[in-house]
């Protein structure tokens, strides 16, 4: 972790092997360079070491002039010991084995050893360390302490106090990483318990992470509780598609059914964290009302049919439709499917009416930096977005930048948000005055004669605060917002004003997408006329056939009356959906498709990073991947060879869409690849962003 170029190297000897490590690196990290491991509980590479559990004890000494090693009389905790020149470390000696046995014996005094009924059993560091280093039998014959079991700390997190070994990882996570400090150690000694204030709800938006970092079964997931044993699970590396951050996750499944989500390390995106929306937002994979076979309208109901039986009426209704046929795409459709959909509409239906933009006003945002750039330490203006809700991982990055790199943050939102906790200045404006505030800040920063008092009158933000904000931002302030701004009636003007702020300060202008592949649709040129315009055309009878691709307009569009009118008026409605939705009731044809983790495809996240998702579980019933549906329609509609696997589709995208130039599956490294720069530089070599973790 500390491998920075300007840190001097020091020679240390670990188990009589000499290696060079950066000065000050913790011994627990240094031994990993030799492929060794020190058992740990409380130490976590992303949090400050505390030395609470004493599991990582090592023998430390220094070489004497006569060549002998003089050991310190007592063992040292490897997790708090920085490497220094000439240090001699032993991790595998008889006294250390005895120390580890002793530490584990103490830890197990108060541990119930109920592994057979514990969700953690099978993947539990305490279990593993006890098997590897602990005593084989217990000498403890006294009564164990008894505390509440399975206490619901929140809807998601269950606390079992008997199992807690008081390592403090969860408490430190809320203090150092998520920043909400919702958990603390209450009481002391054997009564010490990690919990919330008066056992109230654990409200953190990142609470799921404490389940993963708990080294015992004290914090378990209420959703995963007793659903599987770890050794029954299969796991597939995947990418979360709940929001636009594109967090890398492990998709755990059992017998073809989704079970749980765990964070997967990607230094460029989510490090290893997940948000609660992502971690607990995949239950719809197992929903009972998912369509399982193609259906065609028959009177008031549906008749099941084959895929070709469904394609025939669809192609008949859309063929050569021109402007009178349209498609609306949801935010979670892969690049490949989007591209084939556009090709199907352009070539077979002669229509350009494919739209993925569900915002109120048109706009394509702005991406100039990466997620990792957010923590670089420069001043940041967060504007008009609740970052922890819209871009949760960006929120964690920004907080890290503010606490570790000293970034000064100005948070502008109409109500208090989590960002206020670490922001240098908070601007709470009157709802609806976003444009006035953005233009006012721009005026103050650009020195165009605007006065803070005038902005105060328009927005309700005190003039002094505005002046403080300008002070913070004037040197390289980056404007960070989400494309949720386009849901405001004056969205494009606000984004323009924010770009002006970035120009005035010399910082970046970031207006990031919030849907899993919203940015991909923009890059592929599918933003289109916008869902509102299409729905209005449907409602007025100007569009006779509408194709909904993984989009529930009732959930995505705010104007319910318009959606109802549009779906009732349109003559032919194809609902291509992986999940049950209200729109199914209006459908002429229902095409069951796969969810993201059930099909092959790539997704473009908010920083334009293209990441591949591979199928983890099969779709239910006859469900097909979205791209395959369009490919099969193309095969039937046109006398040309269609693209029959997503790899070929990506090659076609790279050839046709300039933004994706050079993008191939082989070129997508383990961390994905950001569109632009490095792909174009090395068109023939596999591009790896950031290299191996």
Q: Which residues bind another protein (CB under 8 A)?
A: 147-155, 158, 171, 174-175, 180-188, 195-203, 222, 225
Residue 76 phi, psi (nearest 5): -115, 155
Contact assessment for residue 520 and residue 513, using Cβ atoms and an 8 Å cutoff: no
Q: How far is the CB of 199 from another protein (least distance, A)?
A: 6
Q: How far is the CB of 228 from another protein (least distance, A)?
A: 16
- Rg over CA atoms, the chain: 28
Rounded to the nearest 10 degrees, the angle between the axes of helix 434-446 and helix 491-505 is: 20
Question: Smaller CB distance to another protein: residue 280 or 603?
Answer: 280
Q: How far is the CB of 186 from another protein (least distance, A)?
A: 5
The sheet with strand 257-263 has its strands ordered as 234-239, 248-254, 257-263
Residue 339 phi, psi (nearest 5): -65, -45
Question: Smaller CB distance to another protein: residue 226 or 231?
Answer: 226
Question: Smaller CB distance to another protein: residue 191 or 666?
Answer: 191
For the chain, give the number of residues.
Answer: 693
Contact assessment for residue 354 and residue 345, using Cβ atoms and an 8 Å cutoff: yes
Contact assessment for residue 212 and residue 263, using Cβ atoms and an 8 Å cutoff: yes
Q: How far is the CB of 386 from another protein (least distance, A)?
A: 16
Question: How many whole angstroms from its chain centre is CA 415?
Answer: 24
Question: Smaller CB distance to another protein: residue 23 or 186?
Answer: 186
- Using alpha carbons, select from 178, 203, 362, 341 the residue that is nearest to residue 274: 178
Distance CA 499, CA 635 (A): 44
Helix runs in 214-293, H state only: 276-280
Do the bridges between strand 545-549 and strand 325-329 make them parallel or antiparallel, or are there none, so unpaired? Answer: parallel
Strand, coil or helix: what is 556? helix
Question: Smaller CB distance to another protein: residue 187 or 231?
Answer: 187
Helix (H) or strand (E) run with residue 480 in it: strand 478-482
Q: How far is the CB of 368 from another protein (least distance, A)?
A: 34
Question: Smaller CB distance to another protein: residue 326 or 423?
Answer: 423
Q: How far is the CB of 427 from another protein (least distance, A)?
A: 18
Give me the sign of the Cα torsion angle 537, 541, 546, 548. positive
Strand, coil or helix: what is 565? helix
Question: Smaller CB distance to another protein: residue 222 or 296?
Answer: 222
Q: How far is the CB of 171 from another protein (least distance, A)?
A: 8
Question: Smaller CB distance to another protein: residue 90 or 202?
Answer: 202
Helix runs in 275-368, H state only: 276-280, 307-318, 335-343
Q: How far is the CB of 327 from another protein (least distance, A)?
A: 40
Q: How far is the CB of 307 from another protein (least distance, A)?
A: 39
Residue 221: CB partners within 8 Å, gap ≥ 6?
A: 119, 156, 157, 158, 208, 211, 260, 280
Contact assessment for residue 332 and residue 581, using Cβ atoms and an 8 Å cutoff: no
Q: How many other C-beta atoms lie within 10 A of the C-beta of residue 34?
A: 12
Distance CA 667, CA 647 (A): 11
Question: Smaller CB distance to another protein: residue 180 or 490?
Answer: 180
Strand, coil or helix: what is 592? strand
Question: Smaller CB distance to another protein: residue 399 or 624?
Answer: 399
User: What are the angstrom distances between the C-alpha of 621 and each of 94, 305, 405, 551, 612?
Assistant: 59, 13, 51, 20, 24
Q: How far is the CB of 161 from another protein (least distance, A)?
A: 8
Question: How many whole angstroms from its chain centre is CA 416?
Answer: 23
Question: Smaller CB distance to another protein: residue 175 or 458?
Answer: 175
Q: How far is the CB of 197 from another protein (least distance, A)?
A: 3
Q: How far is the CB of 187 from another protein (least distance, A)?
A: 5
């Amino acid at each position: 972790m500390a491998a920075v170029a300007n840190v001097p190297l020091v020679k240390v000897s670990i188990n009589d092997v000499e290696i060079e490590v950066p000065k000050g690196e913790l011994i627990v990290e240094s031994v990993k360079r030799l492929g060794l491991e020190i058992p740990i509980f409380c130490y976590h590479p992303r949090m400050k070491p505390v030395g609470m559990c004493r599991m990582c004890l090592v023998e430390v000494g220094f070489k004497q002039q006569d060549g002998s090693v003089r050991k310190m009389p007592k063992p040292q905790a490897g997790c708090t010991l920085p490497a220094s020149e000439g240090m001699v470390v032993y991790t595998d000696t008889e006294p250390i084995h005895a120390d580890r046995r002793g530490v584990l014996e103490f830890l197990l005094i108060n541990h119930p050893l109920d592994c057979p009924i514990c969700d953690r059993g099978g993947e539990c560091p305490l279990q593993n360390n006890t098997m590897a280093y602990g005593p084989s039998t217990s000498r403890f014959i006294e009564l164990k302490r008894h505390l509440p079991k399975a206490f619901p700390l929140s809807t998601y997190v269950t606390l079992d106090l008997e199992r807690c070994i008081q390592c403090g990882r969860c408490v430190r996570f809320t203090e150092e990483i998520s920043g909400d400090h919702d958990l603390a150690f209450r009481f002391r000694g054997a009564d010490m318990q990690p919990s919330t204030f008066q056992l109230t709800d654990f409200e953190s938006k990142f609470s799921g992470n404490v389940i993963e970092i708990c080294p015992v079964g004290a914090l378990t997931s209420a959703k995963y509780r007793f659903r599987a044993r770890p050794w029954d699970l299969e796991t597939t590396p995947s990418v979360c598609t709940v929001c636009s951050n594109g967090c890398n996750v492990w998709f755990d499944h059992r017998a073809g059914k989704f079970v749980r989500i765990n964070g997967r390390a990607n230094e460029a995106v989510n490090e290893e964290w997940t948000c609660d929306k992502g971690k607990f937002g995949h239950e719809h994979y197992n929903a009972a009302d998912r369509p399982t076979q193609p259906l065609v309208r028959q009177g008031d109901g549906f008749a099941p049919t084959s895929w070709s039986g469904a394609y025939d009426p669809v192609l008949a209704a859309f063929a050569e439709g021109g402007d009178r046929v349209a498609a609306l795409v949801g935010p979670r459709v892969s690049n490949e499917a989007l591209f084939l959909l556009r090709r199907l509409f352009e070539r077979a239906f002669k229509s350009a009416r494919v739209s993925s933009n569900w915002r109120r006003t048109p706009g394509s945002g702005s991406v100039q930096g990466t997620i990792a750039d957010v923590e670089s330490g420069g001043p940041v203006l967060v504007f008009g977005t609740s970052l922890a809700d819209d871009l949760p991982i960006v929120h964690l990055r920004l907080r890290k930048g503010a606490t570790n790199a000293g970034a000064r943050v100005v948070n502008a939102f109409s109500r208090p948000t989590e960002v206020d906790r670490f922001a240098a200045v908070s601007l709470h404006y009157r709802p609806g005055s976003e444009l006035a505030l953005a233009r006012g800040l721009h005026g103050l920063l650009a020195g165009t004669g605007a006065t803070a008092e005038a902005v105060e009158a328009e927005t309700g933000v005190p003039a002094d605060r505005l002046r403080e904000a300008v002070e913070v931002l004037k040197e390289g302030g980056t404007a960070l917002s989400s494309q949720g701004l386009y849901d405001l009636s004056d969205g494009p003007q606000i984004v323009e004003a924010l770009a002006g702020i970035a120009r005035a300060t010399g910082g970046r202008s970031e207006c990031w997408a919030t849907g899993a592949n919203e940015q991909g649709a923009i890059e592929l040129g599918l933003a289109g006329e916008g869902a509102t315009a299409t729905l209005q055309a449907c409602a007025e009878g100007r569009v006779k056939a509408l194709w909904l691709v993984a989009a529930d307009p009732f959930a995505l569009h705010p104007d319910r009356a318009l959606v109802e009118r549009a779906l009732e008026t349109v003559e032919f409605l194809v609902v291509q959906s992986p999940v049950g939705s209200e729109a199914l009731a209006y459908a002429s044809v229902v095409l069951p498709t796969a969810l993201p983790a059930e099909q092959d495809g790539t997704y473009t996240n908010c920083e334009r990073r293209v990441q591949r998702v591979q199928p983890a579980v099969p779709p239910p019933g006859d469900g097909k991947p979205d791209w395959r549906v369009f490919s099969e329609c193309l095969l039937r509609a046109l006398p040309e060879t269609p693209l029959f696997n997503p790899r070929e589709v990506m090659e076609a995208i790279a050839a046709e869409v300039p933004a994706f130039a050079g993008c191939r599956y082989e070129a997508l490294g383990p961390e994905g690849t950001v569109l632009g720069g490095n792909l174009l530089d090395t068109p023939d070599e596999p591009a790896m962003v950031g290299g191996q973790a």
